[in-house]
Structure 1
Amino acid sequence: MTAPTHRSPTARDRLRTLLRDLMIIPGLSGYEDRVRRHIARELTGLGIASRSDRLGNLIATLEGDATAPSVMLFAHIDQLGLVVRKIEADGLVRVERLGGLPEKALPAQAVLFCVGEGRDVPGIIANKSHHATSPDEKYRVLPYPELYVDAGFGSAAEALAAGIDIGTPIVYAPKVIELAGNRIAGTSVDDRAGCAVIVEVARQLQKAPQHPTVHLVFSVQEEFNLRGALTAAQTLSPDIAIQLDIILATDTPDMAARGDVRLGGGPAMGLYSFHGRGTLNGTIPHPALVNLFTDTAREEGLALQRSAHIGALTDSSYVQLVNAGVASIDLGYPTRYTHSSLEVCDLADLEGLTQLLAAGLTRIDGTFSLDRDDPMR
């Protein structure tokens, strides 16, 4: 009888496992501790020491070629959600929004009050009974102050006894759904997928014969006006910042006019981002980094999609302004249905992004120029 063979896990297997694990851990902006501790344990398993700062960022440093520009590779660990604003006498809960939740997608969503590990409380955002909905109400999007969460309590005292109080964080009920074709749907793909990629890149850099000093940063409060990565950059003073996050997929009918980024078409590079609402900020990448990853993709036979859009921005928009300026670029993975409770990404894109980063980082050595007037560029 032949003994069964045991296949060693591939990079895609590891990305799938870690992404699934991270997506089910709640971590609203400002309350990311559980996520940070999980990633710290993953790094410890790789023999990589890490530390956290006062704001909650997790930082690890892979020492490398001291003559090469130093790199900060980062992704955010927080997610958007809600906080408790008021508990009504009947036990129903009013909320404030934290981050860019789409109000039209909130009614009838399952949520989780993050009271503490083993003590979290499920609830649902109420949706008025269809049988009592007037014709004009059917097409009205309720502003979030009019919404309320029902956790089954009959009084405010019951909610308080369960650990729910003013300021308690609330997230979409964590879930992971495996779709066809290695696609993953669920909560907080943004940006737990980027975090999983960084861990896998760290694993591969440990085997590389040469790389620059790379600071791995898992940042906090990105969804709360892009705060955590800025403090990390001020401390680390990197020469280069590479930010990993979602890139808007445009391969569905509602997004077709926004660009040419396809889910499953490989990782993507941001050539222009601008928020355009409230926070007037964005990122135009440093040309040396655009060339680096364009050339790396071509030489390694990797797909690399390109994105330029208004309506979103990332931590790099502030990190680039630290000290005398940081050469910055946004890289990422195509994502559908962003900021909803069921975002979708493709594991093949995450694997491709890992390969692109691992190969590109090893090309940064003492001769790598960030001079804007370099005659070779």
Structure 2
Amino acid sequence: MNKLDETLTMLKELTDAKGIPGDESEPREVMRKYIEPYADEVYCDNLGSLIAKKEGSKNGPCIMMAGHLDEVGFMVTRIDDKGFLRFQTVGGWWGQVMLAQRVTVKTKKGNVVGVIGSKPPHILSPEARKKPMPIKDMYIDIGAGSKDEAMGFGVRPGDSVIPYFDFTVMSNPKMLLAKAFDNRIGCAIVIDTMRQLKKIKHPNTVYGVGTVQEEVGLRGAKTAANLINPDIAFAIDTGIPGDTPGVTDRDALSVLGEGPQIIIYDARTIAHRGLRDFVLETAEKNNIPYQIDTTAGGGTDAGNIHISHDGVPAVSITIATRYLHTHASMIHRDDYENAVRLMVEIIKGLDQKQVEKIIQC
């Protein structure tokens, strides 16, 4: 199998895996399978974040790069007498992208197919039709005729509900469509970076991390960073593009296919100035395309990593991704490849002297 096929297989397995915040076991095991050959040690913190450690050639600085394992989804909160499921969002959702979408309910007996339903427009008043359907009025229909039948399928309150979508290579093979690119693409970049670093001599101890519960407050990033105590950190995530109809350059600047995004500011992190400059210099020296952007309304794992211990210089490197926090999102293959190239060159260029230069005030 050639590398292209191997990469697509990994991306399919990562994105098809079902893992909302607090229930990340499936994507964690996929990530473990792919990253284990390139690590000296693989273990988890007590919340479930996966940590793959690779020692460098010397006792150099500790470099943490983290993608998050979880995806936005839902949780069953109750089953009504007619067998319909009421649910809670887990992570950020916009109600208008949810109706009539297929979902998978994970139960102890196995997966149950469902669809998000609501009142049909035919019986709504003209005024109601103009308004978005409130999420609290939605439900999940699993085809059960009663509460007992639904419970017979194995459904219980607390079960995870995951958006359903199959990984798809589009007619333009550079364009990839899947659920959970936010943020299995970050996990894939971590894996691929570790794979390439295995053949490269450098002094750094590298930690490739798949964090948990990012979508509900960057929780796994906090516990993983406290366990690792890194000298330098990178959050590898998804970002907003500005290349679709209705989005202007006042909303977002990036374009799919023009390189990974270097986030200089978001709601949780101001990029460390010294590390930011080092990242930009590395990209330019190696002719790696990149895009500078800001995300005033969101944040990445860097938000908790950079304030762990006595402070960790951190930068978010993201992949422009269309249709975030929906059932299907889209990326450009070149952005993925260039993000891996950038991370490899960054780590090759780091050593204790360079880290001290970055950190100095």
TM-score range, shorter chain: over 0.9
Q: Which residue of 1 aligns with 2:304?
A: 318
Moved more, 236-245 or 203-212: 203-212
1:327 to partner: Cα distance: 0.5
In structure 1, distance between residues paired with 2:193 and 2:5: 14
Partner of 1:250: 242
Report percent identity of matched pairs.
29
2:258 aligns to what? 265
Q: Which residue of 2 aligns with 1:176?
A: 167
Give, in whole Å, the separation in 1 of the partners of 2:97 and 2:300.
Answer: 23
Partner Cα distance (1:173, 1:354) in 2: 28
SS in 1 for 2:208: strand
The amino acid across from 1:227 in the alignment is R
| Pairing 1:135-146 to 2, within 5 Å after superposition | 135-146=126-137
Say whether 1:339 aligns with 2:325. yes
Q: What residue is the counterpart of 1:129 in the other structure?
A: 120
Counterparts of 1:155 and 1:228, CA distance in 2: 38
Residues 271-299 of structure 1: CA distance to partner in whole angstroms, max 9, x if unpaired?
0001xxxxxxx111112221222111111
Counterpart residue identity of residue 101, structure 2: Q
State the AA in 2 paired with 1:228: G
Unpaired segments of 5 or more residues in structure 2? none
Once the two structures are superposed, residues 169-218 of structure 1 have per-residue CA deviations (whole angstroms, 9 ceiling, x without a partner) of 10111422222331111210100011111111000000112141111111
Question: 1-side partners of 2:70 and 2:319: how far apart?
Answer: 17
Q: 2:141 is matched by which residue type in structure 1?
A: D
Cα distance in 2, alignment partners of residues 129 and 188 from structure 1: 28
Partner residue in 2 for 1:277? none
| C-alpha distance 290-174 of structure 1, shift in aligned 2 (>3 A) | same
Farther-moved stretch of structure 1 (365-374 vs 260-269): 365-374
1:330 Cα deviation after fit: 0.2
Residue 207 of structure 2 aligns to a residue whose secondary structure is strand
Q: CA contact under 8 A between 1:15 and 1:197: conserved in structure 2?
A: no
Q: Give the equivalent residue in structure 2 for 1:216.
A: 208
Question: Any conservation in 2 of the 1:69–1:368 contact (CA below 8 Å)?
Answer: no
- In the alignment, structure 1 segments of 5+ residues that lack a partner are 1-7, 275-281
TM-score calculated relative to the size of structure 1: 0.91
Give the letter for the 2:261 counterpart.
Answer: A
Q: Which of 30, 43, 67 is 2:35 aligned to?
A: 43
Q: Deviations over 1:28-62 (max 9, x none)?
A: 10000111111111123446531122211111111
AA at the equivalent of 1:177: T
CA distance in 1, matches of 2:315, 2:114: 39
SS in 1 for 2:316: strand
Aligned counterparts of 1:53 and 1:372: Cα–Cα separation in 2: 28
Alignment partners' CA distance in 1, 2:194 and 2:177: 25
Cα deviation code 1:42-100 (max 9, x no counterpart): 12344653112221111111111545331111110011111111101000111111110
Q: Is the 8 A contact 1:122 1:173 kept in 2?
A: no
Farther off after superposition, 54-63 or 67-76:
67-76
1:278 counterpart residue number: none
CA distance in 2, matches of 1:97, 1:216: 29
- TM-score, length of structure 2 as denominator length: 0.95
Which residue is 1:366 aligned to?
Answer: 352
Indicate yes or no: 2:69 matched with 1:83: no
2:93 equivalent among 97, 101, 118: 101
Q: Does 1:327 align with 2:310?
A: no
| Moved segments of 4+, more than 6 Å | none
SS of equivalent to 2:196: helix
Residues 66 and 254 (structure 1 numbering): CA distance in 2 closer, same or farther, change over 3 Å? farther
Query: Partner of 2:49 in structure 1?
Result: 57
What RMSD over aligned residues (CA atoms) do the two structures have, in Å?
A: 1.8
| Cα distance in 2, alignment partners of residues 271 and 207 from structure 1 | 31
Aligned partner of residue 158 in structure 1, secondary structure = helix
* Aligned equivalent of 2:285, options 291, 296, 299: 299
Q: Classify the secondary structure of the residue corresponding to 1:167.
A: coil
| 2:147 equivalent among 118, 136, 156 | 156
Distance 2:60 2:203 in 1: 8
Q: Distance in 2 between matches of 1:60 and 1:24?
A: 22
Q: Match for 2:110: what amino acid?
A: R
**Against the structure 1 CA distance between its residues 174 and 253, is the aligned structure 2 distance closer, same or farther, given a 3 Å change threshold?**
closer
CA distance in 2, matches of 1:316, 1:217: 12
Q: Of 19, 24, 29, which residue of structure 2 is paired with 1:27? A: 19
Q: CA deviation at 1:371?
A: 4.9
Give the Å deviation of 1:250: 1.0
Q: Tell me whether 1:188 sits opposite 2:174 in the alignment.
A: no
* 1:289 match: 275
**Structure 1 letter corresponding to 2:2:** P
